[in-house]
Structure 1
Amino acid sequence: MSESGSGPAEYTTRHSVEVAASADHIYEVIADAQSWPIIFPPTVHVRREPGPDGTESLDIWATAQDTVKTWRSRRELDARNHTVTFRQLVSAAPVASMSGTWRVDSTGDGTSTLTLDHRFSAVGDDPDSVAWIQRALDANSDAELAAVAATAVGRSDGSLVSLAFSDTVAIASPAQPIFDFLYRADLWPERLPHVSRVALSSVDDAQILEMDTVNSAGEAHTTRSYRVVTDRFELAYKQTVVPDGFLAHHGKWTLEENGDTTVATSHHHVQLDLERLRARLGATDREDVEQRVRAALGGNSVATLQAARAFTEAERSLA
């Protein structure tokens, strides 16, 4: 549907889904934007800045038809009415403007209707751009609605587990060489013993990293990730191919200089299929699953940071 006026034509879309969960549970998923990378398949990373009176600004990196786009949005959250309205402050071409609303309506008996509306215009009113945006909205909106529904239901019945943690290593080096070590993943097979193969390519301003690794438990995995530089010394990633039992994995590397030392931190945020992992790992309960996942992911990340420390400190001693 399109609307015309003095400016570019505006188009509207609506997507909705029935969800077997309460409006409160669904709204919590929508409101928690920093968890979107482990909920929405297209979302690579979100940076949140809280504002006054229930508002917030979001910088979002997301895939759209095999590209990575980034934009800034302003959101207004209304927990009482279970709505979140949004408007892009800075859009990425071919989008000229984009706004919309998430709305959750209770339908009784523990079920709800989740609706996602969009209003947009295209740069130059170009028909091909309008069609491209509509295709992207159809694909992403359907995926996002399905993901919100699955997450709300899974968190309600306990079948899904979200786990977030971080590990830190102090390195006697400026941040830039450490960041270069982390960014040059194509060199990891010769630098990291737990990495056996890497295929690294790029699209727009993002890296695409496919990698074969062995974790601390001796299990081999192939993963595929989008990686984006989100700040001067911050490298975020979203896995699109994950190990068995993982539903999503988002992480980032952050570096903070403190005098002659850099504090390097690896952050992980995962969503897990509890019963699948219990069966695969032979785990006894949820706590056991979480401990094993943390040990496996954290072990590889710490090994990477320790290798970065050995490499950069050795390079500095030779300078």
Structure 2
Amino acid sequence: MSGERVHRTRHSIEVAASAGALYALLADGVRRPLYCPSVLHVERLDFDGARERLRVWEDAGGSIRSSFVAREQYPHERRIAFQELRPAAPVESMGGEWTVEETAAGGSVVTVRHAFTVLGEHGEHGDDADEVARVTSRGARAELESLRRVAESRAGVDDLVLAFEESVWVNGPGELVYDFLYRAADWPGLLPHVRRLRLTEPSAGLQLLDYAVALPDGAQRETGAVRLCFPHAGRIVYKETAPAAPVAAHTGEWSVLPGEHGVRVVAQHRVLLDADAVRALPGSGVYALGPASRAPSRAVLARHCLRESIGRTSLATLALAKRHAESAVRSLPRRPAVPAAGAS
């Protein structure tokens, strides 16, 4: 980078948690969509234990973009350096580092630094440096605050993250299953929990969903999602854009895995609980079942309830995808049997 054209941002936050716990959160780049509001999906392309390449999809000031990022981890220094490999205009280069430092009080200070240049500093893109700095700073502040909330939770990170999957076997072609999952605009009227759904596709493979779902008490909740579709791989990944308490973030994936005589369809979910919302949940009689040391925490109870509710709607979608594919196969005309050689 040319020293005259480098723009720098620096953001820090003090966290009442150990430096080791915070570094572990930052080092797990694949789970970053749970902790960073602007990051939609991350895929690890390679990793040798210290250096890795990631593909990152994120909401950059209202537009969805993907980038390739190289990261190098320095665990003994609690530092992670990163560099965007193919930045999109007007950004010419973008890099920086995360650092975690211990404080005298036993907490930590997390800092993220960015250094970037823009194309045509005094020409076509000369006015874009301020906008890039604003978008970068907004994302950095939101991610730092999210990290603080997760790390400071008394429930513990493990209790706040819920990961599970459901699956079903389909005796039919994967193309029909994927087609059903892809055509989410057709779900209202087919899936009882989907009351309304509007789908737009700004570019091939990118879907924006605005929909309403039915709640167990009969009420209706408005929400949305961003979906990334990979038809050749039989995958659709998504992130919910307006999760309801006590959920802080919800990401998932539909995948169609071919087998010898059909396909296995898998629905994967990762959910991050909002620690403040969990603490605000009303108490339950279950707390009176035994000593406090044996009573389940509110986070555990919230995880159980969410596992039941999300799993129920997930299984309903899988069951309908199965019926869609298998009924289409049964309705195909049968080919006439070929007479055996020598038959009259």
**TM-score, normalisation: structure 1:** 0.90
Pair 1:240-2:236 in alignment: no
Secondary structure of the residue that 1:176 maps to in structure 2?
helix
Which position in structure 1 is the counterpart of 2:42?
46
Q: Which has the larger radius of gyration?
A: 2
Which position in structure 2 is the counterpart of 1:257?
258
Q: 1:280 to 1:268 in 2, by over 3 A?
A: farther
After TM superposition, the structure 1 stretch with the greater mean CA deviation from structure 2, 294-303 or 226-235, is: 226-235
Distance 1:281 1:228 in 2: 39
Which position in structure 2 is the counterpart of 1:174?
173
Secondary structure of the residue that 2:306 maps to in structure 1?
helix
1:23 is displaced (CA, Å) by 0.9
Which of 23, 28, 31 is the aligned partner of 1:32?
28
Distance 1:83 1:77 in 2: 6
* Cα pair 1:70 1:92 within 8 Å, conserved: no
Which position in structure 2 is the counterpart of 1:315?
328
Which of 275, 291, 301 is the aligned partner of 1:288?
301
Unaligned 5+ segments in structure 1 are none
Secondary structure of the residue that 2:85 maps to in structure 1?
strand
Amino acid across the alignment from 1:197 = R
Distance 1:145 1:175 in 2: 41
* Cα pair 1:56 1:74 within 8 Å, conserved: yes
Amino acid across the alignment from 2:235 = E
Which position in structure 2 is the counterpart of 1:93?
89
Distance 1:234 1:32 in 2: 22
* Cα pair 1:68 1:203 within 8 Å, conserved: no
Q: 1:106 to 1:177 in 2, by over 3 A?
A: same
1:27-50: CA deviation from partner (whole Å, max 9, x where unpaired): 111111121111110011111134
1:90 is displaced (CA, Å) by 2.5
Secondary structure of the residue that 2:140 maps to in structure 1?
helix
* Cα pair 1:67 1:204 within 8 Å, conserved: no
Distance 2:210 2:192 in 1: 16
1:53 is displaced (CA, Å) by 4.3
1:95 is displaced (CA, Å) by 2.4
RMSD: 2.5
Unaligned 5+ segments in structure 2 are 287-295, 333-344
- Give percent identity, aligned residues only: 30
Which position in structure 2 is the counterpart of 1:185?
184
1:158 is displaced (CA, Å) by 6.7
* Cα pair 1:72 1:90 within 8 Å, conserved: yes
Secondary structure of the residue that 1:189 maps to in structure 2?
coil
Q: 1:219 to 1:47 in 2, by over 3 A?
A: farther
1:282 is displaced (CA, Å) by 4.6
Which position in structure 1 is the counterpart of 2:106?
110
Secondary structure of the residue that 2:188 maps to in structure 1?
helix
Which position in structure 2 is the counterpart of 1:120?
116
* Cα pair 1:207 1:227 within 8 Å, conserved: yes
Which position in structure 1 is the counterpart of 2:66?
70
Aligned pair count?
A: 315
* Cα pair 2:151 2:157 within 8 Å, conserved: no
* Cα pair 1:200 1:207 within 8 Å, conserved: yes
Distance 1:177 1:166 in 2: 21
Amino acid across the alignment from 2:35 = I
* Cα pair 1:105 1:113 within 8 Å, conserved: yes
Q: 1:120 to 1:40 in 2, by over 3 A?
A: same
Distance 1:129 1:257 in 2: 46
Secondary structure of the residue that 2:113 maps to in structure 1?
strand
Q: 1:260 to 1:139 in 2, by over 3 A?
A: same
* Cα pair 2:36 2:143 within 8 Å, conserved: yes
Q: 1:274 to 1:26 in 2, by over 3 A?
A: closer
Q: 1:158 to 1:122 in 2, by over 3 A?
A: closer
Which position in structure 1 is the counterpart of 2:214?
214
**TM-score, normalisation: structure 2:** 0.84
